[in-house]
Structure 1
Amino acid sequence: MKKHKELRAMIDKIIDGVSDLVPLYLENEEDRAKSNGNLAICLIDAEGMVHGKVFGTDKIRGREAFRVAWVKASQVWITGFKTGEYERLVFNKEIEEDRFGIRKPDYIGWEGGQPITLPGGSIVSVGVSGLRSVSDLEIVLRALDRIPGAVINNELNNIYQTI
């Protein structure tokens, strides 16, 4: 129970960090134009618990942003690879298409999904949607500054390769 509370507290810090950064990112015309200020973050922990937040005033656009953020996070949760990276590996035939059960029509394709490792070793799959892809990734990196020892895990796929 204590570990779950600690994990939840770290996830809340990530969401709070993203919340604090959203106004800064919306100062960028390209990011603001992408979704008119409606974006979402979705986090899935190793046990499959889903966490997240929708930003903005348009509930329909926010719903779509969360759907895309969830698809990004769930693809990372299933494969262990960043979105975009996974697709590159499949299309270059570096891994088998059916290895994780996701077929080409269902790949998200866009960047913005990434695995992170929190202090204590907990792995969380994160997806953000509503900004430019580079900003979807970066806003999480910047939010992680609130959690000393948290890192983007580019090597998470090594864990999955042994399963």
Structure 2
Amino acid sequence: MNKNELNTFIRHFFDVINELIPEYAVNPLDAFANGNVAVCVQDESGLVYGNIWGNDKIIGRQFFKNAWLKCSQVWITGMKTGEYERRLYNEEFSEEKFGINKPDLFGWEGGQPIELSDGTKLSIGFSGFRGCNDLEIVKRAIAIVDVKNHA
């Protein structure tokens, strides 16, 4: 996918996330964010895209920081955020392998590698809901946009 196509894809991805947020925000277990959530997308070259939703800029900023940390960790390691923590603490590899030290790693769920149907690889971090839903909303939005993109 060229840069213009990727820009269009990500804009559509953000639009779909926007449509899905209310569905998650009504869940009492995810309502703590009051609609303030953020997503960060990084392509293989390192170019970063992001979006923040909600009315509280300070909370949005914090969620974007978390989303970026998740996203960049995935970009560096190629692994979901929770998986990286588990594997590191199970001593499947050392901290030095990826250069992310234990105090600096992001163990919460919400960061994941995504491969699109055309082979484009993205690292995506989402923050603002429970980790399982941070992962799910991204997967759902990607599935919707990837189908539309290749229809």
1:80 to 64, 78, 96: 78
Structure 1 residue ranges, 4+ long, deviating more than 4 angstroms after superposition: none
Q: How does 1:53-92 map to 2 (within 5 A)?
A: 53-92=51-90
Q: How does 1:21-100 map to 2 (within 5 A)?
A: 21-33=20-32, 35-100=33-98
Rounded Cα–Cα distance in structure 2 between residues aligned with 1:5 and 1:13: 12
Deviations 1:63-87 (A, max 9, x none): 0000000000000000000001001
Rounded Cα–Cα distance in structure 2 between residues aligned with 1:46 and 1:73: 12
Equivalent in the alignment of 2:12: 13
1:125 to 117, 123, 126: 123
TM-score when normalising by structure 1: 0.86
Seen in structure 2, the aligned counterparts of structure 1 residues 88 and 149 have a Cα distance that, compared at 3 Å, is farther
Task: Give yes or no for contact 1:83–1:112 (8 Å, CA) kept in 2.
Answer: yes
Rounded Cα–Cα distance in structure 2 between residues aligned with 1:60 and 1:37: 13
Rounded Cα–Cα distance in structure 1 between residues aligned with 2:136 and 2:9: 18
Aligned-pair CA distance for 1:122: 1.2
Aligned-pair CA distance for 1:9: 1.6
- Which range is displaced more, 35-44 or 53-62? 35-44
Residue 108 of structure 2 is aligned to residue 105 of structure 1:
no
**Which stretches in structure 1 are left out of the alignment for 5+ residues?**
151-163
Other structure's SS at 2:125 match: strand
**Which stretches in structure 2 are left out of the alignment for 5+ residues?**
none
Q: How many residues align?
A: 148
Task: Give yes or no for contact 1:119–1:149 (8 Å, CA) kept in 2.
Answer: no
- Which range is displaced more, 7-16 or 104-113? 7-16
Aligned-pair CA distance for 1:149: 9.5
Rounded Cα–Cα distance in structure 2 between residues aligned with 1:11 and 1:149: 12
TM-score when normalising by structure 2: 0.93
Q: Which amino acid aligns with 2:114?
A: I
Rounded Cα–Cα distance in structure 1 between residues aligned with 2:55 and 2:143: 27
Equivalent in the alignment of 2:136: 138
Deviations 1:116-152 (A, max 9, x none): 01132111100000101111000011102221299xx
Q: Percent identity?
A: 49
